[in-house]
Amino acid sequence: MSSNFFGPDFQALQGQDPEIAAILISELDRQRQNLQLIASENFTSSAVLAALGSTLSNKYAEGYPGKRYYGGCEEVDKAEVIGVARAKELFGAEHANLQPHSGASANVAVYQAFAKPGDTVLAMSLPHGGHLTHGSKVNFSGKWFNVESYGVRQADELIDYGELLETAKRVRPKMICSGATAYPRLIDFKRIREICDEVGAIMWVDAAHFIGLVAGKAIPSPVPYADVVSFTTHKVLRGPRGGMILSKAAHAAAIDKAIFPGMQGGPIMSAVAAKAVALKECQQSSYQAYAKQVIENAKALASALESEGMRAVSGGTDTHLALIDIRGTGMNGKVADERCGRSGITLNKNAIPFDPESPAVASGIRVGTPAVTTQGMGVEQMPIIGNLIARAIRDGEDEGKCAQIRSEVHALTAKFPVYPG
């Protein structure tokens, strides 16, 4: 355990608020010691954390660079201008907005820019891998919009583009959303563009999960095809927690207005600066190598879990995550998640397509490799991780066996230190 990582100001926090300081240290220890396999998490660089924990947090900057509602924005303006330019260059986008506080906020803005309450939107069904903001009945999207859904075919668990087209022709959506939280395969954005054109719909891609792979040029980009692309910045992209939107120039004003004043006040300028830092990191060739390695590791982990008697949904993965049907182990997702947690392995239970269990129980787990790849793990480590997961699921009821697995997990992560020093 070390407190050095937090720098000199941490001494002040320890003196002033030891309770919270202790939580910061134990969370750092948790991140360092356990295996972090949640597909939507990563370890940012210290440079990103430095920008995030900076005095830019103190500044109100409602509006956009050069058009703020507050004085004293000269410095934060520079950070936002740099960040927007980096985003446009990295993704070849005509417009970028770095102000969304989160992915969900970015999605609220997309709905607001392109639809009115009651309008029909077509999005990936939640049980097949969609997101809350893609029309869940307990979310604003499902309450305020008529969201119809498409899914995957039962036979191969791949998106059924034929069904998508037929549904689009029937429901005539204002907007079609592609992108998901638990779909391991590539999405055919050219095909989605054709479907959007055929029915006159806006093409919206929620790229939160895979935009980092696009940034690293490891998978094809939706940007040339889509009207609008929303995403989070903290997943494979390895930036601060937050959101971002890219769009065609024709939609720039609508997007910017939807964010401010449409649904946000002052942007979190420390987060905007941290996004700019992350975007610069993504331009490095080392980041491109990282993005490719994330996919290689995910493929290796999926196949390691298959060797342990589990089934990779759709037969594998093309991305950073694998969705694993664990019914072959005799366990459900809830039990597997709990047992892995007790064994020092952080992952999440996840519904699989056509899941007979409720989402709270689920028949699957979702594993992702963004964090372990940032740590420096490679394909050689994936069979070890697959074996640890399998043993945790099988034997995790027994505290002695859990402790043994935990000590092996800690021995593995110790070889790949996170935030060393």
* 207/402 with CB nearer ligand DSN: 207
Closer to ligand DSN by CB, 236 or 390: give it: 236
Reading the block at residue 160, the tokens are 């059924």
| Cβ-based nearer residue to ligand DSN, 40 or 178 | 40
387 near 304, Cβ under 8 Å? yes
Measured from the CB atom, the residue of 40 and 346 that comes closer to ligand DSN is 40
What is the smallest separation between the CB atom of 206 and ligand DSN, expressed in angstroms? 9
Number of residues that bind ligand DSN (CB under 6 A): 5
In the bound state with ligand DSN, the residue whose beta carbon lies nearer, of 167 and 314, is 314
H/E run at residue 143: helix 140-144
- From the candidates 86, 185, 235, 299, give the one annotated as an active-site residue: 235
Residue 60 a catalytic site member = yes
Shortest Å, Cβ 50 to ligand DSN: 25
Interface pattern 143-182 for ligand DSN (x via CB under 6 A): --------------------------------------x-
For residue 295, what are the contacts with CB-CB under 8 A and spacing of at least 6? Answer: 213, 218, 219, 317, 318, 319, 320
First to last CA, the chain: 10
Residue nearer to ligand DSN on the CB measure, 130 or 173: 130
Min dist. Cβ of residue 103 to ligand DSN (A): 5
Cα 405 from Cα 345, distance rounded (Å) = 9
Q: Quick one: 295 or 402, whose CB is closer to ligand DSN?
A: 295
Q: Has 206 been annotated as catalytic?
A: yes
Binding characters for ligand DSN, 182-221, by CB under 6 A (x = yes): --------------------------x-------------
Question: Cβ atoms within 10 A of the Cβ of 111, count?
Answer: 24
Catalytic-residue membership of 62: yes
Q: What is the closest distance, in whole angstroms, from the C-beta atom of residue 104 to ligand DSN in the complex? A: 7
Residue 127: Cβ within 10 Å count: 17
Q: Which of 77, 80, 206, 337 is catalytic?
A: 206
Within residues 325-384, the interface with ligand DSN by CB under 6 A covers: none
Q: Which amino acid is at 317?
A: T
Residues 6 or more apart whose CB falls under 8 angstroms from that of 396 comprise 338, 339, 340, 342, 343, 402, 405
User: Which is closer to ligand DSN, CB of 103 or CB of 242?
Assistant: 103
Residue from the set 32, 86, 131, 339 that interacts with ligand DSN by CB under 6 A? 131
Q: Identify which of 190, 179, 174 has the alpha carbon closest to the alpha carbon of residue 232.
A: 179
Helices 382-395 and 333-342 cross at an angle (nearest 10°) of 110
Question: CB atoms < 10 A from the CB of 26, how many?
Answer: 11
The answer to the question of residue 317 lying near ligand DSN (CB under 6 A) is no
In angstroms, give the least distance from the CB of 216 to ligand DSN.
Answer: 19
- Annotate each residue in 39-58 with x if it binds ligand DSN (CB under 6 A) or - if it does not, as one string: -x------------------
Q: Which of 152, 157, 153, 203 is nearest to 177 (CA)?
A: 203
Of 74, 44, 69, the closest CA to residue 56 belongs to 74
Angle made by CA atoms 278, 287, 279, in degrees to the nearest 5 = 20
Give me the helices (H) in 56-95, please: 74-91
Residue from 60, 194, 257, 306 carrying the catalytic annotation: 60
* Alpha-carbon separation of residue 413 from 145, 201, 375 (angstroms): 45, 47, 8
Q: Which residue shows structure tokens 């298959």?
A: 306
Under the criterion CB under 6 A, does residue 128 sit at the interface with ligand DSN?
no
What is the rounded distance in angstroms from the CA atom of residue 138 to the CA atom of residue 143? 7
**Cβ count within 10 A of residue 250:** 10
| CB 398 to ligand DSN: min, Å | 29
CB of 40 to ligand DSN, least distance (A): 3
Helix (H) or strand (E) holding 244: strand 243-247
DSSP 118: T
Site string for ligand DSN, 84-123 (x = CB under 6 A): -------------------x--------------------
Q: Which residues bind ligand DSN (CB under 6 A)?
A: 40, 103, 131, 181, 208
**What residues are labeled active site?**
60, 62, 206, 232, 235, 241
